[in-house]
Chain A
Amino acid sequence: MSRPDKFIINGKRLDGRLPDQLRPIKIEVGVLRRADGSCYIEMGKNKVVAAVYGPREAFPRHIQDPSKVVVRYRYNMAPFSVEERKRPGPDRRSIEISKVSKEAFEAIIMKELFPRSVVDIFVEVLQADAGSRTACINAASVALVDAGIPMKGMLTSVAVAKVDGVLVLDPMKEEDNFGEADMPFAFLIRGGKIESIALLQMDGRMTRAEIKVALNLAKKGAMEIYNLQREAIMKQFVEEGEENA
């Protein structure tokens, strides 16, 4: 892939989107039989699946916390998920992503309800297309609800990039690779509103003012995604009800 000359032409991005538009999203809940909760998400060309196991007994014993549940998060990319085959196994990037994602969920899961046990969140990126970590958090959030894990609220994640000096929502591959800045967010949404930030990273170069604009853009995108998450979850129940209506 080579660096495009321009990222924004006549106000539109390379894939035809406006700066504040999300890529198409598809969400399916309860896709895995063995997991306690699961979710499949497509965001742009990202295809990720999240599974939640737990709360379950924590093994080995020494990882147990006598006062609360231990949360584990594993972000993993399948070897075939990217253009150049990726060697299986965690690399440094995956480890960092797993860490900050885990911490985002630790901030909202009601840990004291399940001492001495563990909640495992596994997310596999089957196809990666910029923003896979945000797609994974969105899938994991739904999978946790599907597993019945008590939480303060739901997490919704989206990233903002800067290209040609313009802030764009939910960056695509070229914007992510060649842009001037990349900023992934995850928000806690409660009472139908964005309440606080559970995940925040940035690399690139942005002024203070630009960060503020990026934050507002991200909040707008996150609310749209949140509504899709809700819809997907509710869909399971409405269908069953309709069969017997």
Chain B
Amino acid sequence: MPEDILVDIKKDYVLSKLRDGERIDGRKFEEFRRVEVKTGVIEKAEGSALVRLGNTQVVVGIKMQPGEPFPDTPDKGIIIVNAELVPLASPTFEPGPPDETSIELARVVDRGIRESEAVDLSRLCIEAGKSVWIVFVDIHALDDDGNLLDASAIASIAALMSTKVPASRFGLGEDFDLPVNDFPVSVTSLIVGNRFLVDPSRDELSVGNTTLTVTVDRNDSIVAMQKSGDYLLSENLLDQIIDASISASKKMREEVLKQISKA
């Protein structure tokens, strides 16, 4: 977009609106942008979801295949999360192996899924010690208008919820729904001074890369946290953000479930 040259001007605009207690798009401080979730968009994948969060777009595809279990968990399936921030998604993404930002994104999304035990890995055993289902969660960024992380997390869980285990393809019986028991929602806030803005847009992120992500499960327990960016966080602000994240996650979960069930 030609406006990238205006980054510094945008930053001033965001900050001046903040001084008036407002966000540039009129949202409340704890409000997510409008979310749109479509599952089953990639028929060749075992599961998939396209998510639009504001103008940010991410597609997640789930591929599954039998493989060897990890030695210390011989009867549990394996989840592998990878994120590709491909160049088409942003003028600042360069081709090449994953950089620290995409690695961090994948690992934080992974943590949310894993620690909430959203996928029941014990139901993914084919033959203990020899063969289990490997679930590849591949995040493909399409358009970075800020907060790819939360969009990716939503797309990942939505894709998993719509995944069918391709047992028949491998002669392992009938296909079955991937068992998904929880719906972790990651809530990322941009921190500016002693304020925080949930689900920052790219324009808001022109102020800085200083964020805190809190991932919350269905029972309001926190399953992952990640402070990212070069800033110092006060205990007071941390408290406020955790509170806001818990309530924002509830709203997001409700909205996404509504959209998925309608489909």
Touch A–B, Cβ below 8 Å? yes
Give A residues with C-beta under 8 Å from B: 1, 92-93, 95-96, 98-100, 102-104, 106-108, 181, 183, 188, 195-208, 211-212, 215
Q: How far is the CA of A197 from the CA of B227 in the complex (A)?
A: 9
Partner of A208, one of B72, B100, B107, B246: B246
Name B's interface SS.
mixed
Give B residues with C-beta under 8 Å from A: 72, 98, 100-101, 103-104, 106-107, 111, 114-116, 212, 217, 220-235, 238-239, 242-243, 246
CB distance from B104 to the nearest CB of A (A): 5
Q: How far is the CA of A99 from the CA of B100 in the complex (A)?
A: 7
B233 pairs with A203, CB closer than 8 A: no
B234 pairs with A197, CB closer than 8 A: yes
Given contacts A197-B233, A200-B212, A205-B116, contact A95 B221 (CB under 8 A): no
| Between-chain CB contacts (< 8 Å), 25 pairs | A95-B100, A96-B104, A99-B103, A99-B228, A100-B104, A103-B231, A107-B232, A108-B232, A188-B232, A196-B232, A196-B235, A197-B233, A198-B232, A200-B226, A200-B233, A200-B238, A201-B225, A202-B224, A203-B223, A203-B224, A204-B223, A208-B220, A208-B222, A208-B243, A211-B242
Given contacts A103-B230, A195-B232, contact A202 B222 (CB under 8 A): yes
A106 pairs with B230, CB closer than 8 A: yes
B220 pairs with A183, CB closer than 8 A: no
Hey, which chain A residues are within 8 Å of B100, CB to CB?
A: 95-96, 98-99
Hey, which chain B residues are within 8 Å of A208, CB to CB?
A: 220, 222, 242-243, 246
Partner of A200, one of B111, B217, B227: B227
Q: How far is the CA of A46 from the CA of B245 in the complex (A)?
A: 35
CB distance from B106 to the nearest CB of A (A): 8
A183 pairs with B234, CB closer than 8 A: no
